[in-house]
Chain A
Amino acid sequence: MPEPILRTNNLTAWYGDFQALFGLDLELSDGEVIAIIGANGAGKSTLLRSIAGLNQSNSNQIWFRGNDIGALRADQIAQQGIALVPEGRQLFASLSVEENLIIGARSGRPGKWQLSSVYKLFPVLEERRHVPATELSGGQQQMVAIGRALMSNPELILFDEISLGLAPIIIKSIYEALPGIVDQGISAIIVEQDISKALSVSSRFYCLQEGKVALQGESRTAEREDISRAYFGVVQDEACHEGQI
């Protein structure tokens, strides 16, 4: 097995005064798409924030492409090629659509993604390029958020609840764009409430429960029952055990 592109090593995280992650181990190979599922408060978003450097981690807790990025700041991690599409879009309100995209390219990493290719992926954004980003509809804002992350030409992209608060038809069109993104050899971690959606686009999944991995496995062969057990914390040990077979 090749050296994973991302590896967390006994990762812990605090959310204010509360511990949110308890020694999480996770691996991701080059070009792979994995899904993180779990109930509210299971630590999914905290995991992504830790990887992106928004939550403080310690050295040796996160390795990316053979580099220890655990103790790096968020901006340094971004320079290394990890991009986060944050929960709730979080566009820059005083920047136009195009400026939001341009600032995504701030780290200056070379690659395929630039304004023209993002506009090709989401043509509607080109029409509205000079509009203040927060005046767009929710779905279009999500496209800007994804485009903004792509502009840094990341090797690993983290999606946090990209379907949250969007109409089903919009969710569908955004997920249809996903293969076009990860086909380029970008690895991805997808955090999603909608389990079937998450499993359909990923090759493997991790199910978190109270800051620990309760279940992991192949997305294709995942058993619904196991997942709901891991999801809600019923007979946790058993669920973990079965999942690792």
Chain B
Amino acid sequence: MNDFKTNYVVTRSSRASTVAMVSGIAVLAVLIAAPWWAGRADLRLMAELFLYLSLASLWNLMAGYAGLVSVGQQAYVGFGGYLLFALTMFAGIHPVAALGIVAVLGAIVSIPVAALVFRLRGAYFAIGTWVVAEVFRLSFAQVSVLGGGSGTSLPTKVVKSMASGRQAREWLSYWLALALVIIVIACVFLFLRSRKGLALSAIRDNELAAGSLGINIWWTKFTVYVVTASLTTVVGALIFLQKLRISPDAAFSVNDWTAFVIFIVVIGGIGSLEGPIIGTLVFFALRETLADLGTAYLIALGLVAIVVMLKAPQGLWGIIRSRWDIQFFPLGYRVKGSSLNPSTTGRSKMGRSTLGSTDMGSTEMGASEMGRLEDSSNKKPTENSD
């Protein structure tokens, strides 16, 4: 062990992640300024992309890190949309202010739901969440003041209250979507770096071992579920604030808000922060070029997802990372050694059970290695023998 510490340097950041941070800030500046350089259609498309990226990042947090594979997140998307309509239409609350209330109500509603669906495990959990989404859909279809089964439009009065002038409203929508995606990614990133996040990685790597280390699995998963639900509700509110029209079938669509999101995450790379970003870009690129094909496009998407799952379960990002050993979000711990022996690091010393499924073979370590290596993310390189 002593040997290990003096010869190797453990850091969180890498040159790639530093470069990524700098260029990230640049990209962000460009994106904030988009209303001045992009056309109206592009602005709308980008806002939609941000909202999908938010959904994908959140789903990835649940499925890729907490092992909660939900196919019922449309429950929260639709709930958020309907809440926004109800709050603005009947309580006269400003749409932007309503977003905050939506987030709180989304979290509150998700608590009893979690208590219920957490009784199901694995794939049964997945279908259970779908049932809940159906209950939401059928319930909102019963609410006649919100248009019942055929839905309703956001009154012009409410739309106008958002901002004066159509352009201002569109800019505001765009910035809200951009702000939300930044909040979501930051939340996921910070969460994964927190103690709870480390516990989460430990669970993913080995639930039994995590349990024996005293990590309360149930509470950690519960927290993830509630936080995700809350943020998903806000995404839903923004989606329908853009659409200005809502109906039960559109609001609680399993295809739009879950199937596509799952495909994005799987194709991009599940269990990594970068995966959903790549996946969303690929998804939109394909959609913009192939959408005319209609059903054939969806069949192709399904096929691609299956092939990726079977042949490259780490997705596009996994392929990129294993080829160039880079990461943009400094999440894992990296070992830089002067004389790393690949046979001991790759196979026996850091077996798959401790490394987690995403980190096979690379020199990046899962958080469960934390116990052995103290948090030295701020340490400077100490010594290099060669």
A–B contact (CB under 8 angstroms): yes
A18 to chain B: closest residue by CB:
B348
Q: Give the size category of A's interface with B.
A: under 10
* Binary per-residue interface labels of chain A (13-26) against chain B in the complex, 1 for a CB within 8 Å, 0 otherwise: 00011110000000
Within 8 A of A (CB), among B122-161: none
Residues of A within 8 A of B384 (CB): none
B350 to chain A: closest residue by CB:
A17
In the complex, A6 Cα to B314 Cα: how many Å? Answer: 42
Q: How far is the CB of B355 from chain A (nearest CB, A)?
A: 10
Residues of A within 8 A of B347 (CB): 17
Residues of B within 8 A of A18 (CB): 348, 351
In the complex, A193 Cα to B353 Cα: how many Å? Answer: 30
Residues of A within 8 A of B352 (CB): 16-17
Q: Give the size category of B's interface with A.
A: under 10
Residues of B within 8 A of A17 (CB): 347-348, 351-353
A19 to chain B: closest residue by CB:
B348
A16 to chain B: closest residue by CB:
B351
Within 8 A of A (CB), among B320-357: 347-348, 351-353
Q: How far is the CB of A12 from chain B (nearest CB, A)?
A: 13
Q: How far is the CB of B234 from chain A (nearest CB, A)?
A: 43
Residues of A within 8 A of B353 (CB): 16-17
In the complex, A157 Cα to B353 Cα: how many Å? Answer: 34
Q: How far is the CB of A5 from chain B (nearest CB, A)?
A: 34
Q: How far is the CB of A46 from chain B (nearest CB, A)?
A: 15
Residues of B within 8 A of A19 (CB): 348
In the complex, A18 Cα to B351 Cα: how many Å? Answer: 9
* Binary per-residue interface labels of chain B (164-175) against chain A in the complex, 1 for a CB within 8 Å, 0 otherwise: 000000000000
In the complex, A19 Cα to B351 Cα: how many Å? Answer: 12
Residues of A within 8 A of B351 (CB): 16-18
Q: How far is the CB of B236 from chain A (nearest CB, A)?
A: 44
* Binary per-residue interface labels of chain B (301-320) against chain A in the complex, 1 for a CB within 8 Å, 0 otherwise: 00000000000000000000
Within 8 A of B (CB), among A1-53: 16-19
In the complex, A19 Cα to B353 Cα: how many Å? Answer: 15
Q: Which of A16, A17, A18 is the most central at the interface, judged by chain B CB atoms within 10 Å of its CB?
A: A17
* Binary per-residue interface labels of chain B (223-250) against chain A in the complex, 1 for a CB within 8 Å, 0 otherwise: 0000000000000000000000000000
In the complex, A17 Cα to B346 Cα: how many Å? Answer: 9
In the complex, A172 Cα to B310 Cα: how many Å? Answer: 51
* Binary per-residue interface labels of chain A (76-98) against chain B in the complex, 1 for a CB within 8 Å, 0 otherwise: 00000000000000000000000
Q: How far is the CB of B132 from chain A (nearest CB, A)?
A: 33
In the complex, A115 Cα to B351 Cα: how many Å? Answer: 45
In the complex, A18 Cα to B272 Cα: how many Å? Answer: 27
In the complex, A52 Cα to B347 Cα: how many Å? Answer: 25
Q: How far is the CB of A13 from chain B (nearest CB, A)?
A: 14
A14 to chain B: closest residue by CB:
B347
In the complex, A19 Cα to B343 Cα: how many Å? Answer: 12
Q: How far is the CB of A103 from chain B (nearest CB, A)?
A: 28
In the complex, A1 Cα to B352 Cα: how many Å? Answer: 46
Within 8 A of A (CB), among B346-386: 347-348, 351-353
In the complex, A18 Cα to B344 Cα: how many Å? Answer: 10
Residues of A within 8 A of B348 (CB): 17-19
In the complex, A19 Cα to B348 Cα: how many Å? Answer: 9
Within 8 A of B (CB), among A160-204: none
In the complex, A17 Cα to B347 Cα: how many Å? Answer: 6
In the complex, A60 Cα to B348 Cα: how many Å? Answer: 26
Q: How far is the CB of B64 from chain A (nearest CB, A)?
A: 23
Within 8 A of B (CB), among A97-120: none
In the complex, A17 Cα to B351 Cα: how many Å? Answer: 6
In the complex, A18 Cα to B346 Cα: how many Å? Answer: 11
In the complex, A15 Cα to B351 Cα: how many Å? Answer: 11
B355 to chain A: closest residue by CB:
A17
Q: How far is the CB of B321 from chain A (nearest CB, A)?
A: 21
In the complex, A16 Cα to B351 Cα: how many Å? Answer: 8
* Binary per-residue interface labels of chain B (195-226) against chain A in the complex, 1 for a CB within 8 Å, 0 otherwise: 00000000000000000000000000000000
11 contacts between A and B (CB under 8 A): A16-B351, A16-B352, A16-B353, A17-B347, A17-B348, A17-B351, A17-B352, A17-B353, A18-B348, A18-B351, A19-B348
Residues of B within 8 A of A (CB): 347-348, 351-353
Residues of A within 8 A of B (CB): 16-19
* Known interface pairs A16-B351, A17-B347, A18-B348; 5 further A-B residue pairs with C-beta atoms within 8 A, sorted by A's residue number: A16-B352, A17-B351, A17-B352, A17-B353, A19-B348
The 8 closest A-B pairs by CB, nearest first: A17-B351, A17-B347, A17-B348, A18-B348, A17-B352, A16-B351, A16-B353, A17-B353
